[in-house]
Amino acid sequence: MEDYKFLFKVVLVGNAGVGKTCLVRRFTQGLFPPGQGATIGVDFMIKTVEVENEKVKLQIWDTAGQERFRSITQSYYRSAHALILVYDISCQPTFDCLPDWLREIEEYASNKVLRILVGNKIDREDREIPTHVGEDFAQRHGMYFLETSAKEAENVERLFMEIAAELMEVSENILFKSILLLW
Amino acid sequence: MFGCCWCCSALRPRYKRLVDNIFPVNPQDGLIKNNMEKLTFYSLSSPEKLDRIGEYLFQRASRDIYRRRNGFVVIAMEAMDQLLVACHAQTLNLFIESFLKMVQKLLESTDPQLQILATQSFVRFANIEEDTPSYHTRYDFFVSKYSAMCHSNNDDSIIRKQIRLAGIQGLQGVVRKTLSDDLVENIWEPVHMDKIVPSLLYVDKEHAMPDSPTEERSDPPQFAETCMRELIGRASFGHIRCVIRPVLRHLDNHQLWVPNYFAIHTFRIIMFSIQSQYSYTVVEALMTHLDDHSKSSPKIRTSIADTLSKIISIAAGESVGPSVLEIINSLLSHLRVSVTRNQSSSNDEQLYQEALINALGEFANHLPDYQKIEIMMFIMSKVPYSQPDRIVSVGKGDVLLQSILLKSLLKVGTKYQTIHLNTTFPPSFLDPLLRMSLAADAEMRLLVQKIFHTLIDRHRNIMKLAKPTVNMVELGLVIEKASRPDVIFIRKHGPEIYLALYESLELSSNTVENVESIYTTLALLAIELASEETILELLRLVLSLQDLALTSGQISLSLKFNLHATVISLLVLISYVCNITVLMDYAEKVVDARRKDSPHLLPDLQSQYDAALTSRLTPAVLVDQTVVSECLKGVGLDSGKLQQGSGYSSNSLQHRHSWVDSAGRNSLADINSGGQELDSGGSSPSVQKKLPGEELTFESMKRILTENNNNYIVEEEKRMQLSQFFRNAPFQDLVSKTQPKHDVLQSKLSEIFNTLSVEPRNTVSTTGQQTDAKPSQTPSYEIHFPELFVY
């Protein structure tokens, strides 16, 4: 019944309060929890999606943004297939921290990891980071870029679907190559 | 659907039918027991079908989860559990795959009850010993998920607690499972440890507040602790760091060093559960962490050092060899760094230093005594000295370091229980200590004296002797006769010590505390080494001190008065300790005189005296040397050396090792032979033979004393003559004379002794007399000396 062809681990990182948990909730449960408390340590959700008629299971690890949980959250980077780095478009400091996060990713994650930069909360009126700034940053660091709103459910589905598709393509390529090699 | 299945059930494979049959129509009814038994029997009789059964059960359960029919899911899980327990270990590995998939499936669901159920099943699985290695099994999902569960922040506090508990149980299960089998995943990989350890600590910390008292097993922190203990208890040497590192990082990240209650708690758990031979690695790790924190605020460092001091004692019992000195060395270098950081004015930094010193003391406290001495010597060797010429003063940093190191020394010293002074003060330790007692800094001298106090005192007299006093009776001192090795020690090193103390008193920068502390040292020495042999020396020092107070031009008037008070206090003490009534009476007389005329010469010491007082003193209030020696003579003591005058003076440095001046009783002026002579005296069998076993009366002591003196003379003469004889005599003579005549020897020797002890011995025998005496010796003695050699 629950036969999936691919299993991908996706980890969300980013400063506290940028809306990581809300993104995950929106995607897996289709709801936007108002007044969501701070995540403690790591939370875990699962969702199976269908890409090109193939079932893909996404294990989504939602990490705490708070500094004090850094040691536990870092340990989750390594096994990730995709890392979603989230910032808040209405909050400059969360954007300023991105280089730090990248450094951490460099240190702890595998180098083949798929990295996606996400500017969340585009429903907010008080935007501080223009879209092109985020785009530039993503481009400079070889990341995919997307702006989302967990509240309005904008681009959330797309974000995860694209990740699933991309990861599938990558792993199918690898599969294909290895078959070629075997040939 | 069920109806459909029913009608064509006959066409389905048997195992599927059996599995289907265990499910009731209504999930509330629970597992159908009869059918379950049938399934169990079937799987036992045809174990090759087990993997299919497992797979089918898993498929059913996944479908039920998807359709949110949790009742059936629970039933499926229960069935799997029963099969797991019932099946034989050999066939189990076929089933495990689907079983673990099932557990994972349940864990992936958002329903907390299913997660808890899955954990329970997993724990049950973890307790089963597999005998086929299942290296294909991957546990990383379980580690990740259970760690996440430990951090659960479910809104409902009861459910949250349950999930966290399940998380810990799951982690424990994973640890058990992977540790018992080398072929599966290495749980000690940082990937896993970095998840497991912080999760355990987190739960432990979160629930550490005294909650409502619950039973042991269901209390998350209790359980987290147990799990932690188990984990650490199984860690081998190479893995300890993997555990400690996440612990330290967790403490850092959660700012749990200040206050360090939890850090201590954690490290205690670690220390008590770790395999004891590895315990010092924990200390090492903590020490390195302290290194890493050298830039952090002093508060954090203090807390770390404090934690260190709390756990170091647990490690001390097990550490041996170089690791001990390594730890000490590392602590000392931390101290040095702290001193050179030059923020010592800040209170926090001082607290940090104190915490380090405490750690040092704690560590030393738990080491065997012989290592304590080693450590004291080690610390002493780290103290930076000013060169012997004290004009070149040391830098300010060095002074601070000196005093810090001395403080550490004092700390170690207080933990040390002196038994024999000569083991406590080996020369390599005593010498530098004495040198430090002359340091330019008054505070430092005080510290050195305190070290002396704690090391000398064996009968807890320190407090009673803290200040000079003339009322000895009230103090209730505990006095014990000095042991033989101690007497030898003081005979050997006494002069050095006394000289150092004398010179120390001479320094003009002394405060009242300094004088008092030196008094305490002397008083302790007098008490610990109470014997007639030693008090003469002490009395001589006392008289010299009075001289110093009378004649010195360097020290202030108040200091002189302090000295006088010290002198009389010591005199009273000595007479009291040795129970010399005449001397006691005399001391009493002087005290009375002072009380009448010049009370400022009596204790207590003051730093400031009435300006009108002059240094001119009437003889009545002073201690008269002749009277003292009369008193001594009255009780039969050899008072000769008192009359030799003051042996201590500031320029008598070269006398330090001379026995001629200080010991006085020598008849030989040859400095080099002094030590030799002492050794022979100490080891002379005749002396030991004559030492009475129990009756340590005054008379017997006196006898020993005088006989000792004679012995030395005899032996020295013997030696001289022997060498003389062997140099001059022809070979034939030598051969004939070294014929062993043992029976004769004994009688002859005693004869000699008798004649010698009858001879009136007068005290001052100079070199000249000695050399004169040699040729006049009768040759009859010569005969026996070769035998003595043989003997």
Per-residue pLDDT at B315: 73
Is 90 exceeded by the pLDDT of residue A136?
yes
Q: Which of A82-96, B147-161, B228-242, B574-588 is least confident?
A: B574-588
Per-residue pLDDT at B706: 62
Q: Which helix (H) or strand (E) holds B434?
A: helix B427-436
Give the residue, A134 or B755, on which the prediction is more confident.
Answer: A134
β-sheet with A144-147: strand ranges across: A42-51, A54-63, A6-14, A82-88, A114-120, A144-147
Distance, CA of B561 to CA of B571 (rounded, Å): 15
With b for 16 or more beta-carbon neighbours within 10 A and e for fewer, the B269-278 pattern comes to: bbbebbeeeb
Q: What is the mean pLDDT of residues A5-9?
A: 90
Please report the DSSP string for B702-748 in residue order.
HHHHHHHHHHHHHHHHHHHHHHHHHHHS-HHHHHHHTS--HHHHHHH
Per-residue pLDDT at A117: 95
What phi and psi, each to the nearest 5 degrees, are found at residue B507?
-65, 140
Give the residue, B411 or B273, on which the prediction is more confident.
Answer: B273
Is 70 exceeded by the pLDDT of residue B751?
no
Distance, CA of B397 to CA of B399 (rounded, Å): 5
Ranked by mean pLDDT, which of B18-27, B401-410, B570-579, B696-705 comes out on top?
B18-27
pLDDT exceeding 70 applies to what percent of chain B? 70
Alpha-carbon torsion angle B557, B559, B565, B569, nearest 10: -160
Q: Which residue has the tokens 């004939």?
A: B736
Distance, CA of B656 to CA of B412 (rounded, Å): 28
Q: Looking at chain A from residue 40 to 59, which residues have their Cβ under 8 Å from any Cβ of chain B?
A: 40-46, 59
> Cβ atoms within 10 A of the Cβ of B776, count?
6
- 3-state SS class at A145: strand
Q: Where are the extended beta strands (E) located within B7-67? A: none
C-alpha to C-alpha distances, B132 to B174, B187, B316, B580, nearest whole angstrom: 17, 19, 42, 88
Chain B contact present for A166, CB below 8 A:
no
Nearest to B194 among A41, A59, A74 (CB): A74
Q: Find out whether A66 and A38 touch, Cβ atoms under 8 Å.
A: yes
Is 50 exceeded by the pLDDT of residue B8?
yes
What is the β-pairing status of strands A6-14 and A114-120? unpaired
State pLDDT tens for residues B146-172: 999 998 888 888 888 889 999 999 999
Please report the DSSP string for B374-433 in residue order.
HHHHHHHHHSPPPPSSTTSPPPHHHHHHHHHHHHHHHHHHHH---S-HHHHS-HHHHHHH
CATH number at residue A171: 3.40.50.300
Give the residue, B395 or B459, on which the prediction is more confident.
Answer: B459
Ranked by mean pLDDT, which of B340-349, B557-566, B625-634 comes out on top?
B557-566
Per-residue pLDDT at A127: 92
Is residue A73 one of the residues assigned to a domain? yes
What phi and psi, each to the nearest 5 degrees, are found at residue B191?
-55, -40
**For chain A, what is the domain count?**
1
Q: What letter would DSSP give residue B620? A: G
Q: Which helix (H) or strand (E) holds B284?
A: helix B279-292
Q: What letter would DSSP give residue A149? A: B
| CA of B387 vs chain A CAs: smallest distance (Å) | 52
> Cβ atoms within 10 A of the Cβ of B432, count?
16
Q: Looking at chain B from residue 84 to 123, which residues have their Cβ under 8 Å from any Cβ of chain A?
A: 105, 108, 110
Q: Which residues contact B59 (CB under 8 A, 6 or more apart)?
A: A1, A2
Identify all chain B residues contacting A74, using CB atoms and an 8 Å cutoff: 194
Is residue A139 one of the residues assigned to a domain? yes
C-alpha to C-alpha distances, B546 to B495, B518, B649, nearest whole angstrom: 17, 15, 12
Per-residue pLDDT at B757: 58
Per-residue pLDDT at B637: 67
The reply to whether omega before A43 is within 30° of 0 (cis) is: no
C-alpha to C-alpha distances, A145 to A113, A133, A137, A153, A155, nearest whole angstrom: 15, 11, 9, 17, 11
Identify all chain B residues contacting A43, using CB atoms and an 8 Å cutoff: 148, 151, 153
- 3-state SS class at B759: coil
Average of per-residue pLDDT values in chain B: 74
Give the residue, B610 or B199, on which the prediction is more confident.
Answer: B199
Identify all chain A residues contacting B65, using CB atoms and an 8 Å cutoff: 2
Per-residue pLDDT at A56: 92
The two three-digit tokens of residue B713, written as one number:
């003379």
Q: Which residues contact A111 (CB under 8 A, 6 or more apart)?
A: none
Is residue A1 one of the residues assigned to a domain? no
Is residue A127 one of the residues assigned to a domain? yes
Per-residue pLDDT at B87: 79
Chain B contact present for A31, CB below 8 A:
no
Is residue A108 one of the residues assigned to a domain? yes
pLDDT interval class at A26 (50, 70, 90):
very high
Q: What is the mean pLDDT of residues B439-448?
A: 80
Identify all chain B residues contacting A45, using CB atoms and an 8 Å cutoff: 110
Q: What is the ipTM of this complex?
A: 0.88
Is residue B780 packed enough to be buried (19+ CB in 10 Å), middle (13-18) or exposed (0-12)? exposed
C-alpha to C-alpha distances, B401 to A126, B91, B395, B455, B650, nearest whole angstrom: 59, 70, 10, 22, 28
Chain A contact present for B66, CB below 8 A:
yes
Chain A contact present for B55, CB below 8 A:
no
Average of per-residue pLDDT values in chain A: 90
What phi and psi, each to the nearest 5 degrees, are found at residue B482?
-70, 145
> Cβ atoms within 10 A of the Cβ of B736, count?
11
Contact B62 A1 (CB under 8 A): yes
Q: What is the mean pLDDT of residues B664-680?
A: 40
Per-residue pLDDT at B396: 59
Calculate ∠ Cα B751-B755-B756, nearest 5°: 115
Chain A contact present for B151, CB below 8 A:
yes
Give the residue, B598 or A181, on which the prediction is more confident.
Answer: A181
Q: What is the mean pLDDT of residues B91-112?
A: 85
Distance, CA of B263 to CA of B252 (rounded, Å): 10
Distance, CA of B76 to CA of B147 (rounded, Å): 26
Contact A75 B59 (CB under 8 A): no
pLDDT interval class at B742 (50, 70, 90):
low
| CA of B157 vs chain A CAs: smallest distance (Å) | 14
Q: Which of A148-157, B198-207, B728-737 is least confident?
A: B728-737
Give the residue, B116 or B368, on which the prediction is more confident.
Answer: B116
Nearest to A75 among B150, B194, B255 (CB): B194
State pLDDT tens for residues B291-308: 888 888 888 888 888 888
Q: What is the mean pLDDT of residues B202-208?
A: 76
Identify all chain B residues contacting A38, using CB atoms and an 8 Å cutoff: 153
Q: Which residues contact B632 (CB under 8 A, 6 or more apart)?
A: B536, B539, B580, B583, B638, B639, B642
What phi and psi, each to the nearest 5 degrees, are found at residue B656?
-50, -45
pLDDT interval class at B131 (50, 70, 90):
low
Is 60 exceeded by the pLDDT of residue B634?
yes
Is 70 exceeded by the pLDDT of residue B381?
yes
Distance, CA of A26 to CA of A32 (rounded, Å): 6
pLDDT exceeding 70 applies to what percent of chain A? 99
Q: Length of chain B in residues, anyone?
A: 791
Domain ranges, residue A100:
6-182
| CA of A105 vs chain B CAs: smallest distance (Å) | 15
Nearest to A39 among B141, B153, B195 (CB): B153
| CA of A176 vs chain B CAs: smallest distance (Å) | 24
Distance, CA of B525 to CA of B130 (rounded, Å): 71
Q: Is the pTM of this model over 0.90?
A: no
The reply to whether omega before B685 is within 30° of 0 (cis) is: no
Nearest to B253 among A37, A59, A67 (CB): A67
Q: Which residues pair with A60 in a beta bridge?
A: A10, A45
Q: Which of B58-62, B189-193, B277-281, B688-692 is least confident?
A: B688-692
With b for 16 or more beta-carbon neighbours within 10 A and e for fewer, the B695-725 pattern comes to: eeeeeebeebbebbbbbbbbbbbbbbbbeeb
Q: What letter would DSSP give residue A4? A: -
